Amino acid sequence: MAARKIIIDTDPGIDDTMAIFFALSSPELDVVGLTTIFGNVHTDVATANALRLLEIAGRTDIPVAKGTDQPLAGPFGGPVPYVHGEDGQGNLHLPPPNTQAVAEPAAQFIAEQVMTFPGEITLVPIGPLTNIALALRLEPRIADNVREVVLMGGNALAPGNATPAAEANIHNDPEAADVVFGAGWEVTMVGLDVTHKIVMRPDHLAAYSTASHPLAQHIARMLPCYRNFYADYHDLTGIFTHDPSAMAYLIDPTLFKTAQWPVRVETQGVGRGKTWPAVNDKRLLPPWQNRPPLNICVDVDVERTIRLILSRLG
């Protein structure tokens, strides 16, 4: 079977880096571009990191398109150095990239790729959804021409992580998420309902440091920063495996149990960024009426998922 063409929209980010390297090492996936977004870091840093990561992977043939640096309703709440390091790479402070982003902004790149390969491109956002909403605004026909959207973000039934209500990617641009969830294309949400179950323990993570693969070695060097965050903020020995889980879904959806519910995104008050699924779909209230159901991951085979992720760089 031909590899599935994907565009990864990303804010690298330690788990973004794990996800990008996992995708690049998976024959099932053909990464046709990286588009960058604010979130874990500012968009400038995300773009430099995306370029550096492709250089480390020897894949400078893959274009990087720089995204917007502000949410739809602005302003960006700011990066999270205590999670991903000042540089988004666990404070490794890598040298500047030698390569450059393409001239088109991310939204234009996404729209052009989708319209050039109708029905073939899967969008894989693993950061805030602003670029995807801007691409829809620029070229609404992408909704009918994309293969599907598989994103890391949101929390249907689980609590949030950025706030008690909201997951970080959605919290960084709730207005964009509400646009993307209502666009009428096929959307799978790989959110905290499953990623908070997928805990890579120290014995799992050791696979990165013992592997001789240069991509695994890079991950191993970033991980102490990420592990310290989980130890300090979550009393967790290990890490939650957010962004690589979206790639795992693409490669093997049987790892996940899903439910189909329309979702609205809270844009007001203390609940800003909360994803609200209409679980009782026999009696849809007006905000959820005429909204397409999303495919929402609600449970996961944890050990098989971790084995799949580790198998590609081991």
Which residues contribute to the site for ligand BDR (CB under 6 A)?
A: 13, 15-16, 39-40, 83, 126-127, 152, 161, 167-169, 242-243
Q: Which region among 10-18, 24-32, 82-90, 254-262 touches Ca ion (by CB under 5 A)?
A: 10-18
Residue number, nearest CB to ligand BDR: 168
- Asked whether position 126 contacts Ca ion by CB under 5 A, the answer is yes
Candidate list 84, 171, 196, 242, residue with the active-site label: 242
Candidate list 11, 16, 173, 193, residue with the active-site label: 11
- Asked whether position 13 contacts Ca ion by CB under 5 A, the answer is yes
- Measured from the CB atom, is 173 or 243 closer to ligand BDR? 243
DSSP string of the chain, one letter each residue: -PPEEEEEEE---HHHHHHHHHHHT-TTEEEEEEEE-SSSS-HHHHHHHHHHHHHHTT-TTS-EE---SS-TT-------HHHH-TTSSTT--PPPPSS---SS-HHHHHHHHHHHSTTTEEEEE-S-SHHHHHHHHH-TTHHHH-SEEEEE---SSS--SSSSS--HHHHT-HHHHHHHHTSSS-EEEE-HHHHTT-EEPHHHHHHHHH---HHHHHHHHHHHHHHHHHHHHH--SSEE--HHHHHHHHH-GGGEEEEEE-EEE--SGGGTT-EEE---TTS--GGGTTPPPEEEEEEE-HHHHHHHHHHTT-
Rounded to the nearest whole angstrom, what is the least distance from the CB of residue 127 to Ca ion in the complex? 5
Q: Does residue 11 have an active-site annotation? A: yes
Rounded to the nearest whole angstrom, what is the least distance from the CB of residue 230 to Ca ion in the complex? 15
Q: Which does 178 bind (CB under 5 to 8 A by kind): ligand BDR, Ca ion, none?
A: none
Count of residues making up the chain: 314
Rounded to the nearest whole angstrom, what is the least distance from the CB of residue 172 to Ca ion in the complex? 10
Q: Does residue 242 have an active-site annotation? A: yes
Q: Which does 167 bind (CB under 5 to 8 A by kind): Ca ion, ligand BDR, none?
A: ligand BDR
- Asked whether position 173 contacts Ca ion by CB under 5 A, the answer is no
- Measured from the CB atom, is 16 or 178 closer to ligand BDR? 16
- Measured from the CB atom, is 82 or 214 closer to ligand BDR? 82
Residues annotated catalytic, as ranges: 11, 242
Sites of contact with Ca ion (CB under 5 A): 11, 13, 16, 126-127, 243
